[in-house]
Amino acid sequence: GCVLVVSVIEQLAQWHNSTVKAAMEKLCDYIPEKHNSLCLCTISFSIDREMNADVVCHSLRLCKQDPGQPLCHLYSPPKLHHLCELMHPSIFIFLPLQKSFMGFSSVCAFPLLANLCEKMKYILRNKLPFEDFDGDKFSTFPTLRGYHWRGRDCDDKNTTVYPGRRPDNWDAESDSNCNGIWGVDPKDGIPYEEKFCKGADSKGVVLLGDSAGAHFHIPPEWMTVPQMSAKSFANLPMAFSDELDWPQFSEITGFLNSTIGGWTDSLYLRLRKRNRCNHRDLQNISQNGGSSGNLLSLIKSLARNQLLDNPAIVIYATIGNDVCNGERDTLAHMTTPKEMLSNVVQALRYLDSHLPNGSHVILTGLVDGRFLWDNLHDRYHPLGQLNKDVTYSQLYSFLDCLQVSPCSGWLTPNETLRNLTSERALQLSNVLKEIARSEKFVNFDIFYMDFPLRQTAEQWRKMGGEPWQLIEPVDGFHPSQIAAALGTGITWQKALHQWPQVLGKENPFNDQIEAIFRDQGGH
C-alpha cells in the first residue's frame, strides 16, 4: 500500500514539476471531500531521482524485511549509497490522525458503536445487505451488498415483497415481485401479471462465484498520473462500499451501462429481454477469494423460497481460487480433486433443499491462467507507464515476495509451476464435468461448460483487439469488462443451442409490457 501511494505521489510531482508536498495536496484534492479526511497530514521530505518508493517505504518503517526473508521491492534496486536510507531515515512524516488507524476492533470498543459494529461484522461475514429493513435479503440501497448485488426491493418494509417471488393474487393490487407489472387491465378486468406472465416460464439468475464473478476492478486512472483528476476518483466511495467489485456491470448479473470501459452484456439482461417478467430477478452471491470451500458458507445468503418463488438458473463459477493462493508452497495449498468433489456436492445438496422445482444449475470449469503471464509479463503496468519502469513481471514478483500474490502458481516466471497449476485446474474441471454427468437432484437439472477464455480471445481478435485487453490492467489477474461482455454472448449461444430449456420461452407480450410499464419498472 505504501509503495503504491508513494509511487503515485512521486509521479504526480514529476508530471506537474512540483514538490512532493504539493503533489500530496493535489492527490488529496482529487479525493471526494467526504472521504479526504485521511489527507489531513503534514509531509516533509525530499526525494532525489534515485530514491524510489521502495526506499521511501522502508525508511518510514512501513515496509520491512523479516528475518530469513528476501527484501521485497517493486522497482529496480537503488544505488548502494541509498541503502543507508533503510537504516538512517531522513524522511519524516506526521499523521495527526494516525491513531484513527487502530483497526475495526478498536473502534468497535466504543459502547455507542458496539451494536452497529456487530451488525456490520455479521453482514460482512454473511454477505447480506447492510440496509434491509424487512430482512428479506433485498434492499433499496445500491452498495454494501444492496441492489448492485441483488434485484432492487420495491417495499423494504414488507418481507413478503421482493424480486423473484411468484405474484400474490397475480399482483392485482400491488407489485409483490418488484418486476413493475401489476394492476388490472380495465378493458377486461384481467390482472396484467396474469395476462402477460402466466405460463411464461419466468426464472431468475443466481451466481455463486468469486472475485471474477463479482467483477473485481481497480480503475487504472487512480494510479495513471497523466489521466488523473478529481473526476477519476468520483467513483471511489461507491467502489469501496462494494468491496472494489462492480457486480452491476458483471457477466452474469450486470444491469447498468458500464462506466469502467467496454460495455455491459449479461445473462440477466438477456433473460430479461427474452422475458420481461424476469425483471429484477438476480442475485450475485460472490466474494473476493471465493472458492469451492468457502462457498459452502457463502451459499447460505441465497434468497430463494421453494414454495413461493420462481425457479432459478444458478451459475456455479469459482474459476481460479481452488488453485490460486499466495503461499510459497502453492501446490500444497491447492484444492485436491477429492476435496473439490466433496465441496461441490455439498453445495449442490444445499441448493436442492432451497431451490424451487424446475431450476437449473450450470457448473463452470476453471480457467487456464497461463493466459495471464503469456500476455502481460513484459508489458508495462499502469504504475510503470510514465517512466517505463514497472512491468507486470515485476509486479507479480513483488506480490509473490510479500506472499500476497493472488495466484503464485500462474503469476510466476516459473513455466513448470504455471503448467502444474493448469494441470490441477484441469483436474478440478474434470471433477465438475463428472458431477454434471453422474449426479441427479430433485429440484434442478445440472450442466457443465468450460470457461470460454479461448473462444473469447478468438472473438476479440476478430474484432481487432489484443489478448492483453481481456485482463484487468491494475491487478493483472481478473477478466476485464470486455472479457465479461464477450463471455456472456458465448455462454448464451451455448445454452441456446445445447440447453434451450434452461433459458425458457420468449415472451410474446414483451412489447406490450414495455409499452404499459415502461416507467414503473426502472432499476
Q: How far apart are CA 356 and CA 304, in angstroms?
A: 8
DSSP β-ladder status, 42-44 and 92-94 = antiparallel
Q: How far apart are CA 90 and CA 86, in angstroms?
A: 9
What angle is formed at CA 132 by the lines to CA 127 and CA 137, rounded to 5 degrees? Answer: 50
| 3-state SS class at 216 | strand
**Residue 211 is among the residues annotated as catalytic for this protein:** yes
Q: How far apart are CA 446 and CA 316, in angstroms?
A: 10
**Amino acid in position 107:** V
Q: How far apart are CA 404 and CA 414, in angstroms?
A: 17
Which position among 211, 291, 405, 422 bears the catalytic label? Answer: 211
Under DSSP, the state recorded for 149 is: T
427-446 b/e (C-beta count within 10 Å ≥ 16 → b): bbbebbeebbeebeeebbeb
The alpha carbon of 187 is separated from its chain's Cα centroid by a whole number of angstroms, namely: 47
- Tell me the helices (H) and strands (E) count for the chain, helix number first: 18, 7
Neighbours of 490 (CB within 10 A): 18
Strands (E), 169-311: 204-209, 282-286
Q: How far apart are CA 504 and CA 396, in angstroms?
A: 44
- CA dist 317 → 362, 449, 450, 479 (Å): 8, 10, 10, 13
- Nearest Cα to 407, choosing from 284, 316, 247, 291? 291
| 3-state SS class at 314 | strand
Contact between residue 219 and residue 232 where contact means Cβ atoms under 8 Å apart: yes
Neighbours of 254 (CB within 10 A): 27
Under DSSP, the state recorded for 412 is: S
The order of strands in the sheet holding 282-286 is 282-286, 204-209, 312-317, 359-364, 444-449
Q: Which H or E run includes 447?
A: strand 444-449
Q: What are the grid coordinates assigned to 194, written together? A: 396474469
171, 173, 176, 178 alpha-carbon torsion, rounded to 10°: 90
Contacts of 307 (CB under 8 A, 6+ apart): 356
- Nearest Cα to 300, choosing from 360, 364, 229, 354? 354
Contacts of 442 (CB under 8 A, 6+ apart): 352, 357
Radius of gyration of the chain (CA): 25
Q: Which residues have a catalytic role annotated?
A: 211
